[in-house]
Amino acid sequence: MDAKRLGGAAIAGCLAVAAAGGGCAAARPRMSAADAIAAMLHDQAAAWNDGDVERFMEPYWHSPELTFSSGGKVTRGWRATLDGYRQRYPDRAAMGHLTFSDLEVTPLGGDVALVLGRWYLDRDEPVGGAFSLVLRRIDGRWVIVHDHTSRDLSPGVRAGRSPVPSGVENANRRPP
């Protein structure tokens, strides 16, 4: 088989593996850390807006060492964080529609990154605020190992109202 056909067969094989739930690095170009993290956060917001809290939680580190800080409290562990989200957002009305803005991804080394941004929930009682995330690349996948989220003190402040510094990425992000 010539190289052109072999390449096409390899891509077709990779697509079949990917469709079955696997992955294939050769079938897709490698993204920068900032692009991969922005895509992950975009998918996370889509899960939230679909009302799927468990899918929203997928990017969090599935570990008892995960930390989530909000409202003056620190929650430890993936399960406890998921339970907290379910308690604070028991239905679609409480969840509203999530948007993120002002996303800044700062690589801190090969496998660690800091993300800063803003979040906004459009619902009957709108709410928004700021967040910072620490992510680690574990087994080739970016995961949130720490989340610090706060609410704005003034109600009705929408995410995206502050100017985004030049060179900063924007994406969707999370509620507290």
Q: Could you tell me if 80 and 8 lie in one domain?
A: no
Query: What is the rounded average pLDDT of the residues 128-140?
Result: 97
Query: What is the rounded average pLDDT of the residues 56-74?
Result: 97
Q: Could you tell me if 10 and 95 lie in one domain?
A: no
Q: Could you tell me if 1 and 68 lie in one domain?
A: no
**pLDDT beyond 50 at 74:** yes
Q: Could you tell me if 18 and 43 lie in one domain?
A: no
pLDDT value of position 17:
35
Q: Could you tell me if 86 and 117 lie in one domain?
A: yes
Q: Please count the structural domains in the chain.
A: 2
Per cent of the chain over pLDDT 70 is 70
Q: Could you tell me if 101 and 52 lie in one domain?
A: yes
Tokens read off for 47:
């899960």
**pLDDT beyond 80 at 6:** no
Q: Which domain holds residue 133?
A: 31-176
Average pLDDT of the chain is 79
Q: Could you tell me if 79 and 14 lie in one domain?
A: no
CA distance 60 to 54: 10
7 confidence band (pLDDT: 50, 70, 90): very low
CA distance 63 to 81: 11
Q: Could you tell me if 48 and 91 lie in one domain?
A: yes
Q: Could you tell me if 52 and 9 lie in one domain?
A: no
User: Distance between alpha carbon 127 and the CA centroid of its chain, in Å?
Assistant: 19
Query: How crowded is residue 157: how many other Cβ atoms within 10 Å of its Cβ?
Result: 16
Q: Could you tell me if 90 and 4 lie in one domain?
A: no
